[in-house]
Structure 1
């Protein structure tokens, strides 16, 4: 009787240990570090814009909904469903990265872009799409933009769409395509804001 209880106890202990080990292995795989990317791109086209001091423009962090508001790279399938690329991520939540890109573009376009509140003009943005469209092999960015004066009135508004070829839907290729599209759309927004202000 004692022998049977001892054998049963050993089997339970072995099973518990095996399950705990399996859980650790699964947790280790799930928490493997993701490859991380930033919105970096050649700013050659931006350098061609004449630099000069201009009005201060406050650029708050853009609005966005999940999963675009996260640090994950978003893909859209042919059935219009969205998902995130496995094993990769942005270095910060996407709105924060795009905010920095916009500030850089405004400065290159001769405006004093800043993330500090208090400027007489606000560049309010809403990132509607920032993703790889798998069906069309494109990096797609759609941003709604408003220039708002100190009294809270919209001075100008526009929707910008930028599409860049993205034949590869993985890792660095997807991130690079989105970075290129971000650089182009930011430049267009900066040029528009310089005229519309």
Structure 2
């Protein structure tokens, strides 16, 4: 009886090990950072010397608030590029690139994000409306749209608000080419945002 029980246990273990060996393996993910661009230069902006700015992570809907690279291949169908993701959720990727580009201007005393507890003169808040690839006349295009609000850091009063959007064609259909298009789009929209911040805050 004891020998029979031992045989049953061994058979069960063998069965479990066999089942484990045929489980599908998850595909490896390639992680991408947002490429740097050269649209923002320190000489382009001035007038906020001694001031500080805190950039808040923008709100985004559930489709964009992930680290997957979003794509709308047709109509209203939402999807992602398989096997690829951003280094952080898309709103954080957007915020970090904007902070880096703002720091390149060199005229601001300090630039940080909301996690750094910076007692800033100004806060840049907003909604990330678009951060995905869409097909326009069968041409993949990287879209970024941001609803921005510049806020007085002391009183909380909204100084000004504005909608920003850019569309950058993808030179190809592979994920690395998509990532490069996002980098160019981010450089363009950040240039516009920074120019607006300097103009509004410098009044």
TM class, shorter-length: 0.7 to 0.9
Q: TM-score, normalised by structure 1?
A: 0.82
Deviations along 1:2-58, one digit per CA (max 9) or x if unpaired, are xxxxx99998776544322111xx0xx31x321111112222543552567352111
In structure 2, stretches of 5+ residues that fail to align are 1-6
In structure 1, stretches of 5+ residues that fail to align are 1-6
* Secondary structure, counterpart of 1:193 in structure 2: helix
Instruction: Indicate the residue corresponding to 1:4 in structure 2.
Output: none
Distance 1:10 1:123 in 2: 64
1:49-68 correspondence runs (5 A): 49-50=44-45, 53-68=49-64
Greater per-residue helix proportion = 1
Match of 1:148 among 148, 151, 161: 151
Q: Is the 8 A contact 2:151 2:159 kept in 1?
A: yes
**What is the alpha-carbon root mean square deviation over aligned residues?**
2.6
Match of 2:31 among 27, 36, 49: 36
Distance 1:54 1:65 in 2: 35
Number of equivalenced pairs: 188
Distance 1:10 1:118 in 2: 65
1:110-121 correspondence runs (5 A): 110-111=107-108, 112-115=110-113, 116=116, 117-121=118-122
Q: Does 1:74 align with 2:75?
A: no
Change (3 A) 1:8 1:158: same
Mean Cα deviation higher: 55-64 or 8-17: 8-17
